[in-house]
Amino acid sequence: MSPREAFALRDYLSPELKGRSISDARQSVSLTNILEQTCLVGRFGQLSARSVLLAVSDQLISAIAMTEIDGVARRMLLCPPDLNADHVQALIEDVEIDAVVTDQPARWADSDVYLIVAARPPVRAGAKAKTARATEWLMLTSGTSGVPKIVGHTLEALTGAIVADGPARGAPPVWATFYDIRRYGGLQIFLRAILSGGSMVLTQPAEALADHVARLQAGGVTHISGTPSHWRKLLMSGAASGFAPRYVRLSGEIADQAVLDGLRRAFPAASIGHAYASTEAGVGFAVNDGLEGFPADILGQNSDGVEMKVEDGSLRIRSRRTAHAYVGRSAAVLTDSDGFVDTGDMVELRGDRYHFVGRRGGIINIGGLKVHPEEIEAVINRRAEVRMSRARSRRSPITGSIVVADVILADDVDASRSGAIRDEILADCRAQLAPHKVPAMIKFVPSLDITAAGKLARHDA
């Protein structure tokens, strides 16, 4: 590609837009003058045309490093903070990494990688990096076991949905997300902040939720995104009072009616939207009518060039926002022969809306009958006394598996009512689900694990 055609992150960072910043709990950096700053001590030139592993623990430094590396390196692999160290060598070999940008250079002293570049808090740069090529952006899938898959994107694909949405109305937004920006969902928000001319407030590892929310308020956050699990956790914490964003976005998991209604009550003045996106399929669509699922008529080709269909029960997406390939020595094929990505997300048509019912790989088999844990959780979560739930399989000598549910009750529920609530939940499940999908047991638990990617942990899935 000739340099003339390439457009990089830095090209969205105009010094004419004043008052922009990116911050975490420790520092705030002006985005207005960001191009005069460097985290790489001016060594970006050495990264020219290299395959770069961005392995920086700090999100803020990672963000600035991304703006320096994009358009310079041949490819850039973003390492999320929870990446299993055992997988790093395989990833390095898979994408022929020849440079590592890290805040812990000593750790890489013995590695075979040609170039180790230390990333440090930003300082004033001498020379400025120039956009020379379209860097390939590599991201990792958030699967729970094995070496993660490497997914290849271009900046154009990553920003397709943002460009299509057009600029936000009114004052430039201040974006925040509960995701890490090295994950697809978080990177989307970082890119939205950059492209919109706005600002961004990052998460800080190990920060208490109440402190995080106080920082979101102090930073004037107007637009914020997270998974339904992130949002349930916030609603449960009671920390949301006083926080009044203009736009609340959910993605990454099924947004059921209960969490949408909970957010509507907590943020009465906000627009609430749930977006469908995945690392592989990119951003598919956003639903802003406050209802779970999506209107059936958005299947087919829409005006943004996103085409969707349902085949064998799963949602398939073809668009210029999808990843272009899985990358690596034994990489699987990402799209079918027609260019559709099979998302593996199973949908069911009810009336004129499709509803997400779960992941293809997450099915529990009960004596030959199949159930998605998510469809059980959606029924349980509808009860006002319930904050969050997880359905899972439990081994059975009779049927192979049975389904059981772990439930977190809302804070204001009297514990002495738990027996009655259990009966009510079971009655709801019997009324709305096939007999084999009704949990055999309901257990009340104080908490449920959330993965580093912000999703409800499903150990048995």
Partner 1 sequence: MSIRLKIISEMQRIAGEQQVTLPPLDDDLSLHETGFDSLGFAILVARLEDDLGIDPFTISEDATFPLTVGDFIRAYENVPA
Chain positions contacting partner 1, by CB under 8 A: 366-367, 394-399, 402, 404, 426, 430, 435-436, 440-441
Q: Report, in Å, the least distance between residue 195 CB and partner 1.
A: 52
**Best CA proximity match to 199, nearest among 24, 351, 318, 57:** 24
Which of 367, 353, 358 lies closest to 455 in space, CA to CA? 358
Nearest approach in angstroms of CB 396 to partner 1 is 4
DSSP string, 232-266: HHHHHHTTTTT---SEEEE-SS---HHHHHHHHHH
Contact 221, 176 (CB under 8 A): yes
Determine the Cα–Cα distance for residues 414 and 385; give it in Å rounded to an integer.
Answer: 10
Provide, rounded to whole angstroms, the least separation between the CB of residue 393 and partner 1. 11
β-partners of residue 101 are 54, 117
Helix (H, G, I), strand (E, B) or coil at 416: helix
Smaller CB distance to partner 1: residue 244 or 426? 426
Least distance (Å) from partner 1 to the CB of residue 360? 24
Asked if 184 and 277 count as a contact pair (C-beta separation under 8 A), the reply is yes
Q: Which is nearer to partner 1, 242 or 368 (CB)?
A: 368
Residue 158 tokens, joined? 């990553």
- Which residue lies nearer to partner 1 by CB, 351 or 397? 397
- Specify whether the CB–CB gap between 128 and 304 falls below 8 A: no
Taking the least distance from each CB to partner 1, the nearer of 300 and 367 is 367
Min dist CB 398 to partner 1, Å, is: 4
**391 pairs with which residues across the strands?**
405
Q: How far is the CB of 427 from partner 1 (least distance, A)?
A: 9
User: Among residues 139 and 402, whose Cβ is nearest to partner 1?
Assistant: 402
CB of 379 to partner 1, least distance (A): 16
State CA 87 to chain mean position distance: 21
Task: Tell me how far, at minimum, the Cβ of 369 lies from partner 1, in Å.
Answer: 9
Report in angstroms how near the CB of residue 437 gets to partner 1 at its nearest.
10
Nearer to partner 1, 4 or 395 (CB): 395
CB nearer partner 1, residue 360 or residue 422: 422
Of the pair 170, 397, the CB lying nearest partner 1 is at 397
Of the pair 170, 435, the CB lying nearest partner 1 is at 435
Q: 123-129: which pairs have CB atoms within 8 A and are 24 or more residues apart?
A: 123/37, 123/38, 123/41, 124/36, 124/37, 124/38, 125/35, 125/36, 125/37, 125/38, 125/42, 126/42, 127/42, 127/45, 128/35, 128/36, 129/10, 129/44, 129/45, 129/68, 129/71, 129/72
> CB of 175 within 8 A of CB of 22?
no
